[in-house]
C-alpha cells in the first residue's frame, strides 16, 4: 500500500507531499489541472520511461519518492535479497531522479537500484491502468497475457517454452545438415582431395629441417672431404701429426718426472690428450670414409623439399600447420560423410522435443479454454453490474497442433469478442467497443483478474495499490454510479487510487483529493488538497454544476454522498 508520495520539480509540481489511505482514494479537479501528473509520477516509481521534458522549467532535476508498506511476498523478498537491500521497519521507499539532460537514477531504501528492479518490485506493489493500458486491450498478445494470468499457467508456459526452444534448435541443426546437398558434395570432394594430398605425403614432424641439413651436406661434399682430410692428416697421420708429437712429449715428460717429482702428473695428462686426439682422428677418418657425392640422393632430397614447400604454400606456413590442417580436414571429411547419420540422430531428438512440446501445449490449451469460459462468465457478470446487462463477452481460443501454429507460448491465439447490443453477434473488441464500453470492459476484466489472483495468493495485510486514470471515459449517470460502486468493492481488498471527472464516482471515495493549478510570480504550480466533509460537498457541487455552485448542486452533492454511504 502507498502511504506517501513526495514530488519535487516534476511538470507543474514544484513541491508536493501527500499521504494516502487504504480504501478508495479519489483525485478530482478541473480539466488540465494536473490530476494525471500524480499517476505519471507513480509510473516512474514503477519503472516507466523517464522524459527530460517532465523536469520543471529551470530545475536541474525532478525527484519522486514513494513510501510503500511492503507485502510479505516471497518474490519481492527474493528480489530485494538479490539486490542486497533490506526493508526498513516493513517499509519500502522507492525513489526516482530525472535529470534535465534526460538521464534518470533509481533508489530503493536509499541504495542505488536499476530500473529493472523497480519494475520487478512494482509487480508486487501495485498496478496502473490508464489510457495506454486501455488501448492495449485491442492487442491479441495482451489479451493472451490476460487470459494466461487468469488461468495461472506460468509453470506450464515455462515448460512449453523450454520444449519449444529444444525443438527449434533441432530444426536449425537439421537445416544446416541438409541445407544444400550440392554444396555438401562439393566440400566433401575438396576435403577428400586435400586429405589425400596431405596424408599421401607421409609427412613427419620437423622433417623439412632434417632434409635442409642433408641437402646442405650433399651440395658441399667436395669441400667437406677436403677439410676432413686436412684435419685427419693434422691429427693422426705422419711423423708431424698432433698424435705423434704428443707421443714424443709424453716420453720426454716421463724422463723429466724422474728428476722432478712435482712433474709426475704431467705425463698422464699428456697421455690423455694424445688418446683423445687419436680418437678424434679415428672418428674423423670414419666420417671421411662415408663422405661421398650422391647425386641421386641429392635429387630425391631436393624433390622432397619441393613437395613440402608446395604443401606449406597451400595449407600452412610451417610443417606443423600443414599437419594440423590435415587433421582438421580428416575430421570434416568424416562429418560430411556421416551427415545423414548425424541428421538421423538430430531428427530423433527433434521428434522427442516435439512430443514433449505438444504434451505441454495441449495441456496449456485445455487450461486456457477452461479459463476462457470462466473469464467470459465473470466479465459478463461484472458488465451487468455496470449497467450492461445484455452485453455479451466471449474469449475465443483458436489454434491447433499444426507446426505452423507453434510458438514458445503454445499454439493458441486468444481474442476478446464483444457485443453491447442484443441481436448483434460478438465481434473483435477493437471493432465494436466505444470509449465508454471499453472503460467498462477494462474495469470488468481487471476485477475478474484481481479476484482470481486473490484466490491463489496468500492473504497479506499490506494491500496492493491499484491506480485507475480516468476509467470513466465516455460514461456518465447511472453507469458512472455503477463504476463507483465497483471501485468501492475493489477497495475493500486493495488500495485504489482513481482519477475521475465524474461526481457520481467521486462520491464513493474514502479519501477525496482535489488538484488545482495556481499562478504565482508568473509561474504555474499544481496543488493538491485533501478535502474535509464540507469541502467534499463543495467539490462535488462544482463537478455537478460547473464554476457557479448553485444551492441545487449542493443538495445533489449531499444526496450523492448519502447514496454512496458517505
Residue 141 CB neighbours (<10 A): 11
| Among 75-89, 210-224, 302-316, 347-361, the least confident range | 210-224
- Where are any strands of DSSP class E within 257-406? 392-398
Q: What is the pLDDT of residue 268?
A: 87
96 and 191 within one domain: no
Nearest to 59 by CA among 9, 104, 103: 9
Residue 510 located in a structural domain: yes
**Alpha carbon 123 to chain centroid distance?**
19
The count of C-alpha atoms lying within 13 angstroms of the C-alpha of 344, restricted to the half-sphere facing its C-beta, is: 4
Q: Label residue 468 exposed, middle or buried (CB < 10 Å: 0-12, 13-18, 19+).
A: buried
Q: How confident is the model at residue 462 (pLDDT cuts 50, 70, 90)?
A: low
331 and 198 within one domain: yes
| Among 116-120, 172-176, 407-411, 423-427, the least confident range | 172-176
Q: What is the pLDDT of residue 128?
A: 86
Nearest to 30 by CA among 480, 468, 522, 546: 546
Q: Answer yes or no: are the C-beta atoms of 48 and 520 closer than 8 Å.
A: no
Q: What is the pLDDT of residue 132?
A: 66
Q: How confident is the model at residue 461 (pLDDT cuts 50, 70, 90)?
A: low
Q: Please name the residues in contact with 331: beta carbons below 8 A apart, sequence gap of 6 or more.
A: none
Of 288, 315, 337, the last residue of a domain is 337
Q: Is the pLDDT of residue 435 over 80?
A: no
Distance, in Å, from the CA atom of 9 to the CA atom of 232, rounded to the nearest integer, reads 104
For 337-354, the pLDDT digits (tens) are 887 788 888 999 999 999
Q: How confident is the model at residue 244 (pLDDT cuts 50, 70, 90)?
A: confident
Q: Is the pLDDT of residue 105 over 90?
A: yes
Q: What is the pLDDT of residue 131?
A: 67
Sheet holding 13-19, edge to edge: 13-19, 2-10, 61-69, 91-99, 104-108, 111-113
Residue 223 CB neighbours (<10 A): 9
Residue 315 located in a structural domain: yes
Q: What is the pLDDT of residue 323?
A: 94
325 and 196 within one domain: yes
Output the average pLDDT for the chain.
87
Q: Is the pLDDT of residue 441 over 70?
A: yes
For 141-159, the pLDDT digits (tens) are 889 999 999 999 999 999 9
270 and 200 within one domain: yes
Q: Which domain holds residue 281?
A: 184-337
pLDDT-above-70 percentage for the chain: 97
For 465-509, the pLDDT digits (tens) are 999 887 877 777 888 888 888 899 888 888 999 999 889 999 999
247 and 113 within one domain: no
Residue 409 located in a structural domain: no
Q: Is the pLDDT of residue 459 over 60?
A: no
198 and 125 within one domain: no
47-52 mean pLDDT = 89
Query: For residue 459, what is its C-alpha cell?
Result: 492473504
Q: Can you give the pTM of this predicted structure?
A: 0.63
The domain total for the chain is 2
Q: Is the pLDDT of residue 458 over 60?
A: no
Buried b (16+ CB within 10 A) or exposed e, 76-87: beebbeebebee
- The CATH number of whichever domain residue 69 belongs to comes to 3.40.50.300
Q: Is the pLDDT of residue 566 over 70?
A: no
Q: What is the pLDDT of residue 457?
A: 55
For 311-328, the pLDDT digits (tens) are 999 999 999 999 999 999
Distance, in Å, from the CA atom of 170 to the CA atom of 221, rounded to the nearest integer, reads 66
Q: What is the pLDDT of residue 325?
A: 94
Q: What is the pLDDT of residue 371?
A: 96
Of 318, 337, 356, the last residue of a domain is 337
195 and 74 within one domain: no
The count of C-alpha atoms lying within 13 angstroms of the C-alpha of 298, restricted to the half-sphere facing its C-beta, is: 11
Q: What is the pLDDT of residue 253?
A: 83
Distance, in Å, from the CA atom of 412 to the CA atom of 390, rounded to the nearest integer, reads 29
322 and 191 within one domain: yes
Q: Is the pLDDT of residue 556 over 80?
A: yes
Q: What is the pLDDT of residue 436?
A: 74
Residue 273 located in a structural domain: yes
Q: Answer yes or no: are the C-beta atoms of 500 and 493 closer than 8 Å.
A: no
Amino acid at each position: 500500500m502507498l502511504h506517501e508520495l513526495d514530488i519535487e520539480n516534476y511538470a507543474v509540481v514544484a513541491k508536493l507531499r501527500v499521504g494516502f489511505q487504504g480504501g478508495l482514494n479519489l483525485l478530482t479537479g478541473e480539466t488540465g489541472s494536473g490530476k494525471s501528473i500524480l499517476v505519471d509520477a507513480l509510473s516512474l516509481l514503477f519503472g516507466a520511461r523517464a522524459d527530460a521534458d517532465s523536469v520543471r522549467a529551470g530545475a536541474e532535476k525532478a525527484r519522486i519518492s514513494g513510501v510503500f508498506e511492503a507485502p510479505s511476498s516471497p518474490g519481492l523478498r527474493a528480489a530485494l535479497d538479490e539486490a542486497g537491500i533490506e526493508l526498513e521497519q516493513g517499509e519500502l521507499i522507492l525513489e526516482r531522479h530525472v535529470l534535465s539532460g534526460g538521464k534518470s537514477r533509481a533508489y530503493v531504501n536509499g541504495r542505488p537500484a536499476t530500473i529493472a528492479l523497480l519494475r520487478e518490485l512494482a509487480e508486487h506493489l501495485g498496478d496502473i491502468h490508464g489510457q495506454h493500458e486501455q488501448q492495449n486491450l485491442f492487442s491479441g498478445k495482451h489479451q493472451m497475457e490476460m487470459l494466461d494470468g487468469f488461468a495461472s499457467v506460468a509453470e506450464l508456459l515455462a515448460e512449453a517454452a523450454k520444449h519449444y526452444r529444444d525443438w527449434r534448435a533441432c530444426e536449425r541443426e537439421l537445416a544446416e545438415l541438409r541445407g544444400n546437398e550440392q554444396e555438401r558434395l562439393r566440400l566433401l570432394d575438396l576435403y577428400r582431395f586435400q586429405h589425400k594430398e596431405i596424408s599421401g605425403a607421409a609427412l613427419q614432424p620437423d622433417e623439412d629441417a632434417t632434409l635442409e641439413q642433408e641437402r646442405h651436406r650433399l651440395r658441399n661434399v667436395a669441400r667437406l672431404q677436403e677439410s676432413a682430410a686436412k684435419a685427419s692428416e693434422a691429427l693422426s697421420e705422419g711423423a708431424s701429426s698432433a698424435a705423434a708429437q704428443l707421443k714424443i712429449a709424453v716420453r720426454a715428460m716421463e724422463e723429466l718426472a724422474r728428476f722432478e717429482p712435482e712433474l709426475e702428473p704431467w705425463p698422464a695428462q699428456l697421455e690423455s690428450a694424445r688418446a683423445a686426439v687419436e680418437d678424434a682422428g679415428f672418428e674423423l677418418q670414419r666420417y671421411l670414409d662415408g663422405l661421398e657425392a650422391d647425386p641421386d640422393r641429392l635429387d630425391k632430397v631436393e624433390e622432397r623439399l619441393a613437395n613440402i614447400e608446395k604443401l606449406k604454400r597451400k595449407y600452412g606456413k610451417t610443417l606443423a600447420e600443414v599437419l594440423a590442417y590435415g587433421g582438421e580436414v580428416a575430421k570434416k571429411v568424416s562429418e560430411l560423410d556421416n551427415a545423414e547419420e548425424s541428421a538421423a540422430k538430430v531428427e530423433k531428438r527433434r521428434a522427442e522435443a516435439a512430443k514433449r512440446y505438444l504434451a505441454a501445449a495441449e495441456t496449456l490449451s485445455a487450461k486456457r479454454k477452461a479459463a476462457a469460459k470462466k473469464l467470459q462468465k465473470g466479465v459478463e457478470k461484472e458488465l451487468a453490474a455496470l449497467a450492461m446487462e445484455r452485453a455479451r463477452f466471449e474469449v475465443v481460443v483458436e489454434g491447433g497442433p499444426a507446426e505452423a501454429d507453434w510458438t514458445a507460448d503454445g499454439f493458441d491465439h486468444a481474442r476478446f469478442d464483444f457485443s453491447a447490443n442484443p441481436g448483434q453477434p460478438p465481434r473483435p473488441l477493437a471493432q465494436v467497443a466505444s470509449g465508454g464500453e471499453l472503460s467498462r470492459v477494462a474495469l470488468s476484466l481487471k476485477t475478474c483478474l484481481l479476484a482470481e489472483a486473490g484466490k491463489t495468493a496468500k492473504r497479506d495485510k499490506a494491500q496492493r495499490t491499484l491506480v485507475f486514470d480516468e476509467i470513466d471515459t465516455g460514461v456518465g449517470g447511472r453507469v458512472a454510479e455503477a463504476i463507483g460502486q465497483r471501485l468501492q468493492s475493489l477497495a475493500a481488498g486493495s488500495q485504489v487510487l482513481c482519477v475521475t471527472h465524474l461526481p457520481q464516482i467521486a462520491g464513493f471515495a474514502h479519501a477525496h483529493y482535489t488538484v488545482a493549478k495556481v499562478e504565482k510570480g508568473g509561474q504555474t504550480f499544481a496543488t493538491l488538497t485533501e478535502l474535509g466533509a464540507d469541502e467534499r460537498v463543495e467539490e462535488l457541487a462544482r463537478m455537478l454544476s460547473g464554476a457557479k455552485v448553485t444551492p441545487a448542486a449542493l443538495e445533489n452533492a449531499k444526496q450523492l454522498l448519502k447514496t454512496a454511504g458517505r
